[in-house]
Amino acid sequence: MADKILRGALIGCGFFAQNHLHAWRDLEGVEIVALCDADAERLDLSGKAFGISHLYSDAATMLAYERLDFVDIATTVNSHRVLVEMAAQAGVGVICQKPFAASLAEAHAMAACCARAGVPLMVHENFRWQTPILALRSALEERVIGQAFWGRVSFRSAYDVYSGQPYLATDERFIIQDLGIHILDIARCLFGDVAQLSATTRRVNPKIAGEDVATILSTHRNGITSVVDCSYATQLAQDPFPQTLVEIDGAEGTLRLLPGYRLQIHNQSGTTTIDCQPPLLPWAEYPWHNIQGSVFNIQQHWVECLRQGHEPATSGRDNLQTLALVEAAYQSASRQQATIAIAP
């Protein structure tokens, strides 16, 4: 794998897959040689837009005919298990969009199937690859605020996500499973794995099926306390979508990721503000450019991992811990905010 051009195929040519395809096209040393979608119109549109002529309506046929190093699964959650296991059995590496699985038990089975087949598996959990989150991670690693003891990771907006992703309005589980999963993953990546949590949820928008507000209080294994709060019912004077805002208190100072991608560092040396504006890739558009940049970053990471035989940061194994938090948050919310222990 060291030098050759990696051959990938993308399954699911919908709303978000367009970002994957743009990023793959920009990356060196990798080519998407085939596309698959059950919807003929979407398949055809993506094939034309990205100049890919090997088009399939079904993944089994594609895996039988194409010589691939990996598949990139960008379908919605209910199809993930079949597709992940099919790819593993065909002996090709797997990238799978979040949420990896509809339940933790299913996720364990899928990760085990890839491990048995000896194929690398990465969950496309891109939020921790956003430019401002990478800057926060560096600041923590450099210990500019000493030992962190408390954090808040917050995503509050009233942006209309339903028009781009209509299933979000009808799914029984909404904000924790779709968005909270990203914010919990950021909390894990900043503060480490979680020992226990409790959560509340509510639905403010009467036109949707699931919850659109969630607040999750966690104790991390290293003793850090964090609050993850998400809302799609918060009408602000300036909607920050899709920015994640972060507050971290440390023994020697504070970090604040503020609206406008500004990272404020306050410590004994004074107060400085760093501009963490993500790059605007040629195909990106406001306000999505931060997420689009993170798609490029995670896919670049996959290429590096595949070439060097390293486990991706958001491997299937790693993502089981994030999914455990999602399940625990729903469990806690359904049991009057009971504290739920997370298995190591």
Report which secondary-structure segment, H or E, holds 307.
helix 289-308
Closest CA to 91 of 122, 119, 112: 119
Look at the chain and count its residues. 344
- Say which residues have a Cβ less than 8 Å from residue 251's Cβ, sequence separation at least 6: 145, 146, 147, 149
Report the 10 Å Cβ neighbour count for 103. 14
The one-letter amino acid code at 51 reads: G
How many of the chain's residues bind ligand 89V (CB under 6 A)?
7
Torsion of CA 195, 128, 182, 112, to 10 degrees: -70
Contact of 177 with 186, CB cutoff 8 Å: no
Of the candidate spans 15-23, 203-211, 217-225, 299-307, the one that interacts with ligand NAD by CB under 6 A turns out to be 15-23
Cα 234 from Cα 238, distance rounded (Å): 11
Looking at beta carbons only, is 66 or 185 nearer to ligand 89V? 185
Q: State the Cα–Cα distance between residues 310 and 298, nearest whole angstrom.
A: 14
**Which is closer to ligand 89V, CB of 8 or CB of 99?**
99
Among positions 52-71, residues that touch ligand NAD (CB under 6 A) are 59
Contact 101, 80 (CB under 8 A): yes
Give yes or no for a contact between 267 and 142, defined as CB atoms under 8 angstroms apart.
no
Ranked by CB distance to ligand 89V, the top (closest) residue is 179
**Span 163-192, contacts to ligand NAD by CB under 6 A:** 165, 178
Span interacting with ligand 89V, options 66-74, 77-85, 176-184, 298-306, rule CB under 6 A: 176-184
- Using N-to-C axis directions, what is the helix angle for 17-26 and 40-50, rounded to 10°? 20
Q: Kindly state the smallest distance separating residue 163's Cβ from ligand 89V, in Å.
A: 11
Binding to ligand 89V by residue 79, rule CB under 6 A? no
Q: Which of 95, 121, 144, 179 binds ligand 89V (CB under 6 A)?
A: 179
| Residue 42 partner contact from ligand NAD, ligand 89V, none using kind-dependent CB cut-offs of 5 to 8 Å | ligand NAD
Q: What is the distance between the alpha carbons of residues 42 and 112, in angstroms, rounded to a whole number?
A: 32
Could you say which of ligand 89V, ligand NAD, none residue 15 binds, taking C-beta under 5 to 8 angstroms by partner kind? Answer: ligand NAD
123 binding ligand 89V? (CB under 6 A): no
According to the binding rule CB under 6 A, does residue 16 interact with ligand NAD?
Answer: yes
List residues bridging with 220 in a β-sheet.
194
Say whether the peptide bond before residue 240 is cis (omega within 30 degrees of 0): no
Q: Is 42 in the site for ligand NAD (CB under 6 A)?
A: yes
State the minimum distance, in angstroms, from the CB of residue 182 to ligand 89V: 6
323 contacts ligand 89V (rule: CB under 6 A): no
178 counts as binding ligand 89V under rule CB under 6 A = yes
Q: Which of 8, 10, 24, 98 binds ligand NAD (CB under 6 A)?
A: 98
Q: Which amino acid is at 280?
A: L
Does 95 engage in binding with ligand 89V (CB under 6 A)?
A: no
39 binds ligand NAD (CB under 6 A): yes
Contact residues: ligand NAD, CB under 6 A: 11-17, 36-39, 42, 59, 74-77, 79, 83, 97-98, 124, 126, 165, 178, 291
